[in-house]
């Protein structure tokens, strides 16, 4: 797809989730035309008035090429649903994201993955079991997916990293807001492949 900076700018607008953004792109074909569109046309497509008003306000504040450059300068990469290398399994879910942002690398073998999630308040037994399961799965070639939260999530990530495995942290708050703060070092270890890390 052409004019990716305009797609990223549209994607930043609250209220333009995958369904509405896809409807806009299906209509205009070009994200730049969608970005510059008039309210009457957007209403015809079915975009709610509050979302249109947000788009108009965002156009005053954001220059899409500069916005994209700021993302790149922060070391953040992105994939769009229109890319040939969009992750296969992610593309098969209901309503896959049209854009997602990431740091690090996406490997071909990430298609063989398994999620490990659990309680934030982990017992000693829970930690031992999480580490045992994660070690077996990671050394078998599976990519460990979790949410970088306290407890089971952090234990799964750190064990995968320590075992020279592949792990993906899916963040609810975005790449510029690592939470909880104590897991920032773990997040960086995942990005850098610093295999000595363990919590």
Domains in the chain: boundaries? 4-102, 108-192
Residue 149 has φ and ψ, to the nearest 5°, of -80, 170
Q: Quick one: pLDDT at residue 18?
A: 85
pLDDT tens sequence across 93-121: 888 889 999 988 887 766 789 999 999 99
Would you give the distance in Å from CA 198 to the centre of its chain? 23
Q: Quick one: pLDDT at residue 115?
A: 94
Cβ–Cβ < 8 Å for 142, 89: no
Burial track 87-123 (b if 16+ CB lie within 10 A, e otherwise): beeeeeeeeebbbbbbbbebeeebeebeebebeeebe
Q: What is the pTM of this model?
A: 0.81
In the chain, DSSP finds a helix count (H) and a strand count (E) of 9, 5
The CA distance from 83 to 196, in Å, is 34
Q: Quick one: pLDDT at residue 71?
A: 93
pLDDT tens sequence across 46-59: 999 999 999 999 99
Fold exhibited by the domain 108-192: Rossmann fold (3.40.50)
Confidence of residue 194 (pLDDT cuts 50, 70, 90): low
pLDDT tens sequence across 19-44: 899 999 999 999 999 999 999 999 99
What's the average model confidence in pLDDT over 170-182? 84
Cβ–Cβ < 8 Å for 82, 2: no
Q: With a cut of 90, say whether residue 8 has pLDDT above it.
A: yes
Per DSSP, which regions of the chain are E strands?
Answer: 77-80, 99-102, 113-115, 143-146, 167-169
Q: Compute how many other C-beta atoms are within 10 angstroms of the C-beta atom of residue 132.
A: 11
3-state secondary structure of 118: coil
Least confident of 39-43, 63-67, 133-137, 171-175: 171-175
Q: With a cut of 50, say whether residue 197 has pLDDT above it.
A: no
Spatial CB neighbours of 104, under 8 Å, sequence gap ≥ 6: 190, 191, 192, 193
What's the average model confidence in pLDDT over 141-146? 93
Q: With a cut of 70, say whether residue 130 has pLDDT above it.
A: yes
Q: Quick one: pLDDT at residue 109?
A: 67
């Amino acid at each position: 797809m052409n004019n990716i900076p305009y797609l990223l700018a549209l994607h930043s607008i609250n209220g333009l989730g995958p369904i509405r953004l896809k409807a806009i792109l299906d209509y205009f074909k070009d994200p730049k035309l969608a970005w510059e569109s008039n309210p009457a046309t957007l209403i015809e497509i079915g975009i709610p008035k509050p979302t249109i008003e947000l788009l108009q306000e965002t156009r005053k504040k954001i220059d899409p090429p500069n916005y994209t450059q700021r993302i790149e300068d922060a070391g953040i990469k992105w994939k769009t649903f229109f890319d040939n290398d969009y992750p296969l399994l992610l593309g098969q879910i209901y309503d896959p994201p049209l854009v997602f942002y990431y740091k690090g690398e996406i490997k071909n073998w990430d298609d063989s993955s398994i999620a490990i999630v659990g309680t934030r308040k982990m017992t000693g037994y829970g930690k031992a079991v999480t580490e045992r399961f994660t070690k077996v799965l990671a050394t078998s070639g599976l990519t460990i997916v979790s949410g970088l939260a306290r407890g089971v999530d952090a234990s799964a990530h750190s064990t995968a990293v320590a075992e020279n495995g592949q792990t993906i942290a899916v963040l609810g708050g975005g790449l510029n807001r690592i939470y909880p703060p104590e897991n920032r070092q773990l997040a960086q270890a995942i990005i850098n492949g610093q295999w000595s890390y363990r919590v």
